[in-house]
Amino acid sequence: MSLLRTVVLPALGAIAVLTAAGRTIRLLDGDDPREDRAVRALQAAFGHLPAEADAALAPGSTRAAAREPVDRVTAPLSWYSGVPQTIANGALWCGVTWVLTRDRRAAAAPAAALALETACFVAAAALVRRPRPSGVWRPEHPHATSSFPSGHTAAAFALHGTLADLLDRRGARGARLVGPLLRCGVPGAIAFSRVYRGQHHISDTVAGALLGIWSAAVVRRTLLSS
């Protein structure tokens, strides 16, 4: 009964809220929303054209060379947030936490945060079915899942927020400095990379961030509060 009340029912509520928000956004602004204008303008400012025109650029062109610094930062961030990498990252930190604490609840926390986030993301995405942005530069093929919410962003906020909670719980030295970087810095940079590289609408990453923050909070309350 405790698990039903503390995890299952809140998760169903989160799925309902995400689904309602995603469908409302699609209804009000369509599948080529106004928010994408800012993304196109940002990409253009760094020398990118929409995919169909960008493919014709020569790799050594002046325009291509001018945009390399931003791409070199966002490419590894987007890769780091990928599904296999996130699974491996979560498993790694479960193992590290177990070795350092011998606390089963603490060691399970990273995996629990990712599992909760993933369950809510998959269900909401299947119900919303929002297309990926159109008319944008997109250097990588998108996943087949719905664009809303951003699963990569949600996973980043859930996992790194839980790692920050573990540091706080242990009273680790430097937690006050590292904590904000884990909670906001790294996941925020990942969210930016997903938008900048044409994988998501801005609202997708906002919803993903909220889902990830909420998932970390549920795990903090259920596994790490005692």
pLDDT score of 226: 66
pTM for the model: 0.91
Q: Span 24-37, mean pLDDT?
A: 94
- b/e sequence 168-185, b meaning 16+ C-beta within 10 Å: ebeeeeebeebbeebbbe
Residue 104 to residue 102: CA distance in whole angstroms: 6
pLDDT score of 56: 45
Burial class (CB in 10 A: 0-12, 13-18, 19+), 57: middle
75-125 pLDDT, tens digit each:
999 999 999 999 999 999 999 999 999 999 999 999 999 999 999 999 999
pLDDT score of 58: 47
Contact yes or no for 212/161 (Cβ under 8 A): yes
- Structure token pair of residue 197: 């590289």
Please confirm whether the linkage preceding 149 is cis (ω < 30° from 0).
Answer: yes
Contact yes or no for 39/195 (Cβ under 8 A): yes
